[in-house]
Structure 1
Amino acid sequence: MARIRVRHTRIASLFALSAVLAPLTGCGAGKTAPAAGPGAAGREPVVVATTTWEGAFARAAGAEDVTVLVPPSVRHAPDYEPKPSDLAAVAAADFVLYAPFEPYAAKIKEAAGSRAKLVEVGLDNDPARAGAEVLRLGGLFGTKDAAARWKGRFDGEVARLNGELRAAWPGGRSPAVVSQVFTAWAAGLAGATTVGTYGPEPVTPARLAALTAKRPAYVLDNAHMSTGTVLPGSGARQVGIVNYPGEDLDLLAVYRGAAAELKEAMGGS
């Protein structure tokens, strides 16, 4: 049975609390490093992930003992106070996963202690890149076989969803879409024709006019960074795409969810 723990954490304060961990990491208290590495002799890797996105990549790669610091319901992590137990989890982990665009990544690095291997994760839901990242993590964790099995299921599911979405094209033609830069993968999943992108910076009036002139049928907005209607008055239907998995850390559910939103939008056109 996979173990998933989600901890409410004020990431912005992790560095300030790193002193709490000094006795744990410097004096040998708490969880000590095993003789065998992760994945050896049946010992599963202990992984701490900053968010459910990294956590889902870890689970896909074969890690079962995964602790997530920021729960999926949190849109602004500094709203939560940190706990010494959160930092202890980081110090005791075999691997700490983070993304470079996360503003608290540097603090995570300094608070992690010397035991954990810090791993920067390429958070991209493009199927080819996501599959490659899962295999890379499986190699690091010592869980290559589990990662390869997951990728086989993943490739089959992506192909199935792509077929269903192509069958749902209005009029049997690939729809023109504008995508937020972090949702372009969903356009690819649907076999849609991307005529423009925007973000992550705000859309300027000039950019708005240029994108509207492309006459897209759909706007694939980033549900985590939405600022409202992107192309008002264009007639394009806006579809919210979710990048982050839920607490179950099921990365495949992200693709199924996007496919469901796209099918509904195309069916209502």
Structure 2
Amino acid sequence: MKKIVALVLAALLSFSLFAQAAQEKPASTVVASTAWTAAFADIAGVDNVDFIAPATMTHPPEYEITVGDVQKINDAEYFLYAGYEVMMKSMGTTFKKDESALIRIQTNNSIENVRVQSAKLAAIFGTEAENKIRFATYEEGILDGRRQVAAQGLDKKNVYCHAMQVYLAKDLGLNVVGTFGPAPLTAAQLAEIAKGEIDIIIDNIHNPVAPPALEVSPKSRIVTWRNLPGRGGRGTLEEMVRANIAELLK
């Protein structure tokens, strides 16, 4: 009897130690270059994604990386980036990660691109079910905006759009007749605006260059959008896009 009790206790102890070890196993950690790349992981269904460049910067991709940032990236299981960030050029050989741990995505906020990129990430992290839910919410936010744009007749207006914002503008059904940026407006572009009966000019808050257009087209209205979220966390990309739409509908 004592032998049986001892065996049972040993089995229970072994199971307890196994369960404890399973609980103490660290969760997969993901670090992103900016709040924008982190937002794609969020829609993919990945929670608690940290990011390097402060979201409060005017243009986070220009952030200069620090030694502490490098350590944070090297300590993470995965690093998510877009490729154009200044930090990617300055990092050089300081990365101590396998290629499989470096995940590059395309960053524009069109419905199609967000669908493709978030699905790519979801396949890596095994979050496909949550990705479908979160992407559907993101898509519906834009489709709802498209309905409001049509209801107000804004889809009939001539729109001159910053190149970084043209993706959302087209998803909303806006009539984009020309693009500009990120460089300052050229003389040719100003001439095009002057003769084009432009109703709305959509600028980019991260590198605004549209104000000179009002000198040649004073009746135009400038609408300024974001394409990088101003914070991290759950639902940031959808929140930002809805704010852009609200700015357009004012």
Smaller-chain TM-score range? 0.7 to 0.9
Instruction: Write the distance in 1 (CA, Å) between the matches of 2:63 and 2:27.
Output: 32
Q: Distance in 2 between matches of 1:79 and 1:103?
A: 6
**Cα distance in structure 1, aligned partners of 2:212 and 2:117:** 31
Single out whichever of 45-54 and 147-156 deviates more from structure 2: 147-156
What is aligned with 2:186? 204
Question: Paired residue for 2:45?
Answer: 62
Q: Note closer, same or farther for the CA distance 1:184–1:230 as it changes in structure 2 (3 Å cut).
A: farther
Q: Mapping of 1:157-236 within 5 angstroms?
A: 157-169=141-153, 174-227=156-209, 229-232=211-214, 233-234=216-217, 235-236=219-220
CA RMSD for the aligned pairs?
Answer: 2.3
Seen in structure 2, the aligned counterparts of structure 1 residues 79 and 56 have a Cα distance that, compared at 3 Å, is closer
Q: Using the TM superposition, give the Cα deviation of residue 205 of structure 1 relative to its aligned residue in structure 2, in angstroms.
A: 0.9
Give the Cα–Cα distance (whole angstroms) in 1 for the partners of residues 94 and 26 of structure 2: 25
Please state whether the residue corresponding to 1:238 is helix, strand or coil: strand
Q: Which of 104, 116, 122 is residue 87 of structure 2 equivalent to? A: 104
Using the size of structure 1 for normalisation, the TM-score is 0.74
Q: Report the equivalent of 2:8.
A: none
Shift of 1:225: 0.6
Give CA-to-partner distance per residue, 1:36-88, whole Å, 9 cap, x none.
xxxxxx9753111111000111111111131111111113667777252x222
Taking a change above 3 Å as real, the CA distance of residues 205 and 244 of structure 1, as seen in their structure-2 partners, is same
Gaps of 5+ in 2: 1-24
Determine what percentage of the aligned residue pairs are the same residue: 24
Q: Distance in 1 between matches of 2:34 and 2:247?
A: 23
Aligned-partner Cα distance in 2 for 1:92–1:216:
50
Aligned CA distance change for structure 1 residues 83 and 43 (closer, same or farther; 3 Å): closer
Distance in 2 (alpha carbons) for counterparts of 1:211 and 1:76:
26
Residue in 2 aligned with 1:29? Answer: none
Pick closer, same or farther for the CA change 1:59–1:203 going to 2, 3 Å: same
Q: Counterpart amino acid of 1:57?
A: F
User: How has the CA–CA distance of structure 1 residues 111 and 169 changed in structure 2, closer, same or farther, with 3 Å as cutoff?
Assistant: farther
Q: 1:136 to 1:109 in 2, by over 3 A?
A: farther
Q: Deviations over 1:92-128 (max 9, x none)?
A: 2122111222222233463331257111121101111
Matched, 1:148 2:148: no
Cα distance, 1:90 vs structure 2: 0.4
- State the alpha-carbon separation in 2 of the partners of residues 109 and 174 from structure 1: 49
Number of residue equivalences: 220
Higher helix share: 2
Change (3 A) 1:96 1:201: same
Q: Which runs of 5+ in 1 are unaligned?
A: 1-41, 265-269
